[in-house]
Structure 1
Amino acid sequence: MDTLALIVTIGVALGFTYTNGFHDSANAIATSVSTRALTPRAALAMAAVMNLAGAFLGQGVAETVSKGLIGTPHGDQGMGILFAALAGAVAWNVATWRLGLPSSSSHALFGGLVGAALAGGSAVIWSGVVEKVVIPMFLSPVVGLIVGYLVMLAILWLFRRSNPHKAKRGFRIAQTVSAAGMALGHGLQDAQKTMGVVVLALVISGEEDSTASIPVWVKIVCALMLSLGTYAGGWRIMRTLGRKIIELDPPQGFAAETTGASILYVTSYIFQAPVSTTHVITSAIMGVGATKRVNAVRWGVGRNIVIGWFITMPAAGAVAAIVYWIIKAVFG
């Protein structure tokens, strides 16, 4: 039974990674597709490859997820908590994908972990939740908005005497690099989050020691599932990010992607904080768009997205808690 529970939980974790891939693929490529720097299929293929590569570039975020957010109760209770957390995250990912709302897969996972842990009477490491999740959740969009605005201002000043048509052609080419950087950062952040969950499942089952490094097979399967999900595409969310917030041109797309990628690398390597790629790129797009004129950004769409950000953790947590209570009632 313990082995079966472990296999099922890891399977659901990989399913979450797949939904993360198709849910968040828009983060890396929406701007490049909307500016016609890349065709949709070429952009998805590039994003899938770079997600795969990014997954192997570190493990600090994975360690935060596996050790810094909830306790690790052993046995059936612990596995039930983890299964419920993943179920809550997957349910929220699918619901927001159907609505075309670019909510955060990361915070759906964190909300699921906290909700299931509370329902199961397990310890929640609140200091870790606040420092590694809540504070970055508020700070990263603000930083993305400000830095995106400043980067775009710098581009406008540096190329103020350039021929507009030639400059746009150049930035359309440059966007292939910035989009690849964004996709690499997405792999660096989001594949590690699932690695942390799989490691947590292995620790709960007693298959791995909590001090052990991440097994190579865990890195490979998580990276592959994220890449497969990315290639499956997230057209609904791509439309929201690429068109509904603001009509982007190549310089704006380059500025937004460069801003987003830079924030992902800094938070991964320096702070080991699992930030949301959705929060970062959406706020960067808004900041870049505001340089045109403030009312060029469709702030109503942005407001709806922000509301989605705030309800993601409690909503996923509530679903996870309900799933845990159902498991408890059925299996005892």
Structure 2
Amino acid sequence: MDTFALIVTIGVALGFTYTNGFHDSANAIATSVSTRALTPRAALAMAAVMNLAGAFLGQGVAKTVSEGLIETPQGPRGMGILFAALLGAIVWNLVTWYFGLPSSSSHALFGGMVGAALTGGTEVIWSGVLEKVVIPMFVSPVVGLLCGYLVMVAIMWLFRKSNPARTKRGFRIAQTVSAAAMALGHGLQDAQKTMGIVVMALVIADVEDQGDAIPVWVKIACAMMLSLGTYAGGWRIMRTLGRKIIELDPPQGFAAETTGASIMFGSAFLFQAPISTTHVITSAIMGVGATKRVNAVRWGVAKNIVMGWFITMPAAAAVAAMSYGIVYLIFG
């Protein structure tokens, strides 16, 4: 029974990674597609490959997820908590994907972990949640907004005397690099989050010891599922990011992607903080758009997106709590 529960939990974790891929693939490529720097299929293929590569760049984020947010639960009850946490995150991902809302898969997972842990009687490490989740949730969009604005101002100043048509063609080519960097950062951040959950499941099942290096097969499995999900695409969310917030041109797309990628790499390597790729790229797009004029950004759409950010964690926590209740009733 313990082996079966472990297999089911790992399977659900990989399923979450797949939904993360198609839910968040738009983060990396929406701006490149909307500016016609890349075709949708080429962009998705490139993002899938870079997601795969990014998953192998580090494991600091995975360690934060597996050890820094909730105490590792024990036995069958512990596996039920992880299962419920993942179910809460998957359900919220599917709901927000259906409505085309670019909410955070990361915060859906964290909300699910907290909700399931509280219901299952496992201690939540509130200091870790505050430092690694809540504070970055507020800081990263502000940094994305300001940096996006400043990067775009710098580009406008540096190319103020250039031929506009030639400049746009150049930035359309440069966006291939910036979109690849964004996808690499997505792999670095989001594949590791599932790695952390799988490692926690292995510790609960007494297959691995806490603090051991992440097994290679776990890295490969999580990276492959994220890449497959990415290639499946997230067209609804891509439309929201690429066109509904603001109509982007190639220099703006390059500025937003460069900003987003820089913040993701910095947070992963410097702080081991599992930040939301969705929050970062969305706020960067808003900052870039504000350089035109403040009302160039469709702030009504932006407001709905920001509301989604705040709803995500409690909503996923509620679904996870209900899921754990059902699991407990069935399996005791």
Match in the other structure for 2:88: 88
The CA distance in 1 between the partners of 2:324 and 2:100, in whole Å, is 28
Unaligned ranges ≥5, structure 2: none
Match in the other structure for 1:227: 227
Match in the other structure for 2:305: 305
Whether the 8 Å CA contact 1:74–1:206 is kept in 2: the answer is no
Match in the other structure for 1:38: 38
Match in the other structure for 2:192: 192
The CA distance in 1 between the partners of 2:27 and 2:211, in whole Å, is 33
Map Cα deviations across residues 165-207 of structure 1 (whole Å, 9 max, x no partner): 0000000000000000000000000000000000000011111
The CA distance in 2 between the partners of 1:127 and 1:167, in whole Å, is 47
**What SS does the aligned partner of 1:71 have?**
coil
- State the aligned residue count: 332
The CA distance in 2 between the partners of 1:173 and 1:211, in whole Å, is 43
Q: Which aligned pairs between 1:108-127 and structure 2 lie closer than 5 A?
A: 108-127=108-127
Match in the other structure for 2:132: 132
Match in the other structure for 2:289: 289
Q: Which aligned pairs between 1:124-163 and structure 2 lie closer than 5 A?
A: 124-163=124-163
Q: Partner letter of residue 304 of structure 2? A: N
Match in the other structure for 2:179: 179
Percent identity of paired positions between Structure 1 and Structure 2:
82
Match in the other structure for 1:261: 261
Q: Does 1:211 align with 2:211?
A: yes
Unaligned ranges ≥5, structure 1: none
The CA distance in 1 between the partners of 2:44 and 2:172, in whole Å, is 17
The CA distance in 2 between the partners of 1:288 and 1:75, in whole Å, is 49
Question: Over aligned residues, Cα RMSD in angstroms?
Answer: 0.3
Whether the 8 Å CA contact 1:26–1:237 is kept in 2: the answer is yes
The CA distance in 2 between the partners of 1:328 and 1:235, in whole Å, is 37
What TM-score comes out, normalization by structure 1 length?
Answer: 1.00
**What SS does the aligned partner of 1:154 have?**
helix
Displacement of 1:211 in angstroms is 1.7
Match in the other structure for 2:243: 243
Map Cα deviations across residues 142-165 of structure 1 (whole Å, 9 max, x no partner): 000000000000000000000000
The CA distance in 1 between the partners of 2:329 and 2:176, in whole Å, is 51
Map Cα deviations across residues 130-151 of structure 1 (whole Å, 9 max, x no partner): 0000000000000000000000
Match in the other structure for 1:98: 98
